[in-house]
């Protein structure tokens, strides 16, 4: 699983232990300080299945079809050219993979309608949405997997 823009690791440190003994969470961020923060938190908690990668989410340095799942929580709006991020997500997702985008109202918030348009243009099919206007989670699959 890949998390883009983990920030201080609020999601990462909760998700990684749930992936089981064979699961791995890769966290990708352009800011080394954020990655260091996540890894320090993982070390304090004894979490050993997180791998940090410093990179730009517009050019994810993993092979096509690497991940079963990818998620971004309040990160997509902070990255220039979010459509490129979504296209990269489609590329690195394995067949049948899923993308989850979480947003809540802040200065980088992406309204659901905007996200839906960007996702459609990137070849993503909406599979579900939870929440309300100002705070939501949206799950997508690459359109080929949704067929």
Q: How far is CA 121 from the centre of its chain?
A: 18
| Averaged pLDDT of the chain | 95
pLDDT band at 21 (very low <50, low <70, confident <90, very high): confident
Q: How far apart are CA 80 and CA 75, in angstroms?
A: 11
135 forms bridges with which residues in the sheet? 104, 132
Please tell me the number of Cα atoms within 13 Å of 85 on its side-chain side. Answer: 26
- Average pLDDT over every residue of 75-89: 96
pLDDT at 145: 53
Residue 89 has pLDDT above 50, yes or no: yes
**Which residue in 114, 118, 111 sits closest to 136, CA to CA?**
111
């Amino acid at each position: 699983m890949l998390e883009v823009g983990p920030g201080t690791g609020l999601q990462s440190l909760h998700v990684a232990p749930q992936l089981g003994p064979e699961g791995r969470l890769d966290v990708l961020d352009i800011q080394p300080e954020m990655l260091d923060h996540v890894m320090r938190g993982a070390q304090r908690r004894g979490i050993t299945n997180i791998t940090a990668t410093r990179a730009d989410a517009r050019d994810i340095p993993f092979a096509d079809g690497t991940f079963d799942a990818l998620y971004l929580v309040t990160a997509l709006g902070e990255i220039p050219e979010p459509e490129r991020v979504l296209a990269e997500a489609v590329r690195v997702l394995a067949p049948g993979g899923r993308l989850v985008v979480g947003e809540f109202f802040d200065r980088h918030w992406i309204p659901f309608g905007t996200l839906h348009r960007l996702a459609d243009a990137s070849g993503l099919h909406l599979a579900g949405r939870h929440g309300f206007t100002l705070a939501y989670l949206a799950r997508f699959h690459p359109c080929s997997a949704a067929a």
